[in-house]
Amino acid sequence: MAAPLPDRIQTAVITGGARGLGVHIVRALHQAGFRVVITDIDPTPAEALVSELDLAGETAVTATLDVDKPADFQTVLDKVIDRFGSCEVLVNNAARTAAQGVFDIDPADFNAVMATNAGGIFTGCQVFGRHFRERGYGRLINLASLAGQNGGTATGAHYAASKGAILTLTKIFARDLAGDGVTCNAIAPGPLDTPMVREVLGDNLDKALAKIPVGKLGAPDVVAQMVAFLAGPKAGFVTGACWDANGGIYMR
């Protein structure tokens, strides 16, 4: 039997929260009333975000977390519990890639991207999932990608493969934790209007836009609001799902 919903401010840990889409997710969760723990391999860039959200450092803090180091997840969780008493949400956002043709990818690079993107999410769900199960409540949210659904290789075959793995892991954790008051969902964004996407597309931006039915890049805030909903108590009947935000490129 799941425990009652927390009757106090909830805490959300966001990996890769100091830059890109992570910043939008942090802002959306904080605005929705969550205490946010902004983690990154180098949390220094997040200090400005903390100052923007909460100068007192009571509802927004930073922490160092390298998703390639499994022990970091437990260290961060322990620190969060010690400081705030509990943790209710983990947003697995951190990822990396390098745009290369499939025949140009070195096996070592393939394994490294898989380890960061899929391996990091596996470890995060495993470590935080245990804590959520013990509490009888929790939200795991994994950032996948359109590339993992349709095999797109604009950001690299290793990136697409890792994002496909995330979709499968999301279902596995969702099924295993469903009876414990814990949900696990994924969000699969298409091309968003971020510096990274514009850099990858470069001179091909107009061609890319022509292939998007809505005719524009997606706003990162749309994805951030999806995260905020899935992190909240009203999303308790949603688990094992993949939420699409791709402008109509991939319809199911």
Secondary element (H or E) of residue 194: none
Q: How far apart are CA 238 and CA 2, in angstroms?
A: 15
Radius of gyration over every alpha carbon of the chain, rounded to an integer in angstroms: 17
Which element (helix H / strand E) includes 148?
A: helix 147-150
CB distance 146 to 208 below 8 Å: no
Rounded Cα–Cα distance for residues 30 and 43 (Å): 17
Cα(142)–Cα(93) distance, integer angstroms: 6
Token match 């106090």: residue?
8
Q: At which residue do the structure tokens 């935000």 appear?
A: 245
Tokens 């950001």 correspond to what residue? 155
Q: Which of 159, 180, 197, 244 is catalytic?
A: 159
Q: Is 159 a catalytic residue?
A: yes
- The residues assigned a catalytic role are 159
